[in-house]
């Protein structure tokens, strides 16, 4: 990872993706955005922070001294992580996520240290936070840090997709109501989704595939974030640049811009 360009002992929250702005029109979610509060995300480097990724495993890798990067897919990748493509293309995105991962993981921090860092860096007007447009819970202490953040900020809403299923299962009884979790298919522990009865999201290559699965497509994250739907699984349309000649690339072309989040 590149040397950080940001202050030590801070992490960077990012303003919401344009698609998530539609959440403000959902009454259940709009209450968290009253008084001028906004939607943010806290992001880490894709792949590098995803210990259980499998079918979506991709990383932005620096290839020369100029800092140029390319995406390297994992051995079992079926669809490329769109966030890894962002990190390969945009230096400021890569630097911000690299800084966050460095600050949270490369120092001897426990869950209390990490929760202090997350809290002290949190924007005052944060109303809803997607934990990881990019990245995942890289260890259990980090997952617990977010649990504590949610518990101590009950007037704010936090939600996350994850393939780090064991960390969630180990702490399932203590997850606060305002932390809404979704198991993301395509990881190394997919079998736990069914055996543990976890709410899940699956990436589909077409709307017809979602219909066959009987799964509603979440186009704007409103399903993922709503606490009242925390037990209802759903689908996500394939999104982002895909390797040429792959089934995912063919499917993406057919979607013609209909895609949503791919994790």
Residue 145 lies in a domain: yes
**Alpha carbon of 246 to those of 80, 84, 235, 252, 253: distances in Å?**
10, 17, 21, 10, 11
Q: What is the pLDDT of residue 110?
A: 81
Residue 40 lies in a domain: yes
Residue 65 lies in a domain: yes
Residue 137 has pLDDT above 90, yes or no: yes
Residue with tokens 């590149």: 2
What's the whole-model pTM score?
Answer: 0.85
Q: What is the pLDDT of residue 260?
A: 45
| Residue-by-residue DSSP string for 187-204 | BTTTHHHHHTT--EEEEE
Q: What is the pLDDT of residue 255?
A: 44
Residue 146 lies in a domain: yes
Q: Measure the CA–CA gap between 187 and 165, rounded to whole angstroms.
A: 9
Confidence of residue 96 (pLDDT cuts 50, 70, 90): very high
Residue 127 has pLDDT above 80, yes or no: yes
Sort 75 into a burial class: Cβ within 10 Å, 0-12 / 13-18 / 19+: exposed
Sort 72 into a burial class: Cβ within 10 Å, 0-12 / 13-18 / 19+: middle
- The boundaries of the domain holding residue 48 are 13-185
Residue 215 lies in a domain: no
Residue 170 lies in a domain: yes
Number of domains in the chain: 1
Residue 252 has pLDDT above 50, yes or no: no
CB 159 within 8 A of CB 168: no
Confidence of residue 20 (pLDDT cuts 50, 70, 90): low
Residue 223 lies in a domain: no
CB 128 within 8 A of CB 23: yes
What's the average model confidence in pLDDT over 200-220?
A: 67
Residue 131 lies in a domain: yes
Q: Measure the CA–CA gap between 107 and 48, rounded to whole angstroms.
A: 16
Q: Measure the CA–CA gap between 143 and 123, rounded to whole angstroms.
A: 20
């Amino acid at each position: 990872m590149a040397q950080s360009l940001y202050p030590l002992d801070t992490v960077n929250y990012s303003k919401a993706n344009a698609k998530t702005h539609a959440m403000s029109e959902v009454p259940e979610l709009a209450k968290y955005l009253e008084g001028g509060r906004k939607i943010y995300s806290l992001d880490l480097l894709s792949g590098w922070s995803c210990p259980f990724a499998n079918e979506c495993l991709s990383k932005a890798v620096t290839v020369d001294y100029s800092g140029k990067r390319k995406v390297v897919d994992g051995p079992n990748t079926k669809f490329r992580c769109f966030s890894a493509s962002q990190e390969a293309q945009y230096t400021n995105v890569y630097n911000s996520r690299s800084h966050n991962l460095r600050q949270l993981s490369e120092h001897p921090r426990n869950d209390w240290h990490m929760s202090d860092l997350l809290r002290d860096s949190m924007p005052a007007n944060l109303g809803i936070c997607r934990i990881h447009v990019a990245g995942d819970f890289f260890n259990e202490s980090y997952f617990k840090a977010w649990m504590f953040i949610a518990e101590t900020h009950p007037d704010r809403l936090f939600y996350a997709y994850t393939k780090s299923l064991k960390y969630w299962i180990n702490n399932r009884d203590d997850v606060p109501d305002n932390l809404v979790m979704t198991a993301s298919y395509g990881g190394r522990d997919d079998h736990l989704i069914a055996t543990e009865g976890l709410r899940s999201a699956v990436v589909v290559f077409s709307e017809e595939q979602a219909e066959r699965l009987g799964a509603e497509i979440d186009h704007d994250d409103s399903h993922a974030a709503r606490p009242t739907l925390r037990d209802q699984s759903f689908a996500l349309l394939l999104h982002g640049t895909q390797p040429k000649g792959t089934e995912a690339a063919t499917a993406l072309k057919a979607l013609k811009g209909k895609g949503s989040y791919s994790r």
